[in-house]
């Protein structure tokens, strides 16, 4: 065999071995992604059940198997936020957004995190980023979240604008109806407040917050029967809530003023 053939054979061997290594690497990467995705789904399921320890174990495995998974980083960020590990939450939220900068759910989740931290302006920006994705099913929620956060700045006009945008997108979105009822009550526009709480009642089961709003709105409008009905529901359905406690304190004040 001449030297040319020897060199050619050597090159063929090198490329063959290189190809095998590449195929093996690709196979390993796919396996890691599958393991990561399986642990991600389990982690989310356990988080929803409230088993946060098991959820954390699964989500750490998901991130370890695929550190560049935007979904795994976004999910573990939510969990770190829930348990109060704010620095780790922030780190993973930012990494998730670097990996998938247009993901609306991560923008919305990061906005909620920032709003709870008191970083209201940054939070509103994140909610806007989420709402600007036309295929995102949570547009109304993101816009309402932006309004809630804007109200904390405080910027009530901006807040109202976001609530109205949310209702333009989904006229029956309960959370936006509730926020508008609250805003109208605060502004002294009691008839509008009643209209929004009635619309809420038409599309959603009552909550402690909606019933407490109803008590105060109807009281301002002088309808004692309607106010009392809301109060009775609040006491019976949600007796251990902060709204029920506020109702009891309010009723005591009412009695003292008589």
Interval 36-60: pLDDT, tens? 999 999 999 999 999 999 999 999 9
Give the CATH number, domain containing residue 239.
1.25.40.10
* Percentage of residues of the chain with pLDDT beyond 90: 85
Q: Is residue 193 domain-resident? A: yes
Q: Is residue 60 domain-resident? A: no
Mean pLDDT check: name the lowest of 18-32, 174-188, 212-226. 18-32
Q: Does 80 score more than 80 pLDDT? A: yes
| The pLDDT of residue 15 | 52
Q: Is residue 219 domain-resident? A: yes
> How many separate domains does the chain show?
1
Q: Is residue 165 domain-resident? A: no
| The pLDDT of residue 6 | 47
| Residue bearing the bigger pLDDT, 99 or 9 | 99
| The pLDDT of residue 61 | 97
| The pLDDT of residue 232 | 97
Q: Of 258, 211, 254, 257, which is closest to residue 236 (Cα–Cα)?
A: 211
- Whole-Å CA distances, 238 to 47, 75, 225, 235, 246: 25, 31, 20, 6, 12
Q: Does 105 score more than 50 pLDDT? A: yes
* Helix-helix angle 224-237:208-220, to 10 degrees: 160
Task: Specify the pTM.
Answer: 0.85
| The pLDDT of residue 14 | 55
Name the residue range of residue 249's domain: 173-258
Question: Would you place residue 254 in the very low, low, confident or very high pLDDT band (cuts 50, 70, 90)?
Answer: confident
Question: Would you place residue 253 in the very low, low, confident or very high pLDDT band (cuts 50, 70, 90)?
Answer: confident
Alpha helices by DSSP H, listed for 117-155, are: 120-131, 139-151
Q: Does 26 score more than 90 pLDDT? A: no
Q: Is residue 242 domain-resident? A: yes
| The pLDDT of residue 18 | 54
| The pLDDT of residue 22 | 54
Structure tokens at 197: 């709480």
Q: Is residue 188 domain-resident? A: yes
CA distance from start to end of the chain: 114
Q: Is residue 150 domain-resident? A: no
| The pLDDT of residue 32 | 87
Q: Is residue 120 domain-resident? A: no
127-170 confidence digits (pLDDT tens): 999 999 999 999 999 999 999 999 999 999 999 999 999 999 99
Contact 159, 148 (CB under 8 A): yes
| The pLDDT of residue 67 | 96
Q: Is 100 strand, coil or helix?
A: coil
Q: What is the mean pLDDT of the chain?
A: 91
Please work out, in degrees rounded to the nearest 5, the angle formed at the alpha carbon of residue 253 by the alpha carbons of 209 and 226. Answer: 50
Q: Over range 190-204, report the average pLDDT.
A: 98
Q: Does 199 score more than 80 pLDDT? A: yes
Q: Does 226 score more than 60 pLDDT? A: yes
Q: Does 7 score more than 90 pLDDT? A: no
The whole-angstrom separation of Cα 81 and Cα 23 is 39
Region for 204 from its dihedrals, namely left if φ exceeds 0, alpha if ψ lies in -120 to 50, beta otherwise? beta
């Amino acid at each position: 065999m001449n030297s040319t053939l020897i060199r050619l054979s050597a090159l063929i061997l090198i490329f063959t071995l290189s190809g095998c290594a590449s195929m093996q690497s690709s196979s390993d990467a796919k396996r890691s992604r599958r393991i990561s995705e399986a642990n991600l789904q389990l982690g989310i399921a356990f988080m929803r059940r409230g088993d946060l320890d098991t959820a954390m174990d699964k989500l750490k495995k998901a991130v370890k198997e695929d550190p560049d998974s935007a979904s795994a980083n976004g999910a573990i960020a939510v969990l770190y936020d829930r348990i109060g590990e704010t620095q780790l939450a922030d780190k993973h939220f930012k990494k998730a957004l670097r990996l998938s900068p247009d993901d609306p759910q991560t923008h919305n989740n990061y906005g909620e995190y920032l709003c709870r931290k008191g970083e209201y302006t940054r939070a509103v920006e994140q909610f806007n980023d989420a709402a600007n994705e036309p295929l995102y099913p949570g547009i109304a929620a993101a816009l309402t979240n932006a309004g809630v956060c804007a109200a904390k700045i405080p910027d009530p006009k901006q807040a109202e604008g976001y609530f109205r945008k949310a209702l333009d997108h989904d006229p029956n979105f309960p959370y936006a109806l509730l926020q508008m009822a609250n805003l109208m009550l605060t502004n002294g526009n009691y008839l509008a407040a009643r209209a929004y709480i009635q619309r809420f009642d038409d599309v959603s089961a009552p909550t402690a917050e909606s019933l407490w709003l109803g008590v105060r709105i109807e009281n301002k409008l002088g309808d004692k029967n309607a106010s009392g009905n809301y109060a009775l529901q609040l006491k019976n359905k949600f007796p251990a809530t902060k709204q029920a406690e506020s109702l009891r304190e309010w009723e005591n004040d009412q009695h003292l003023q008589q």
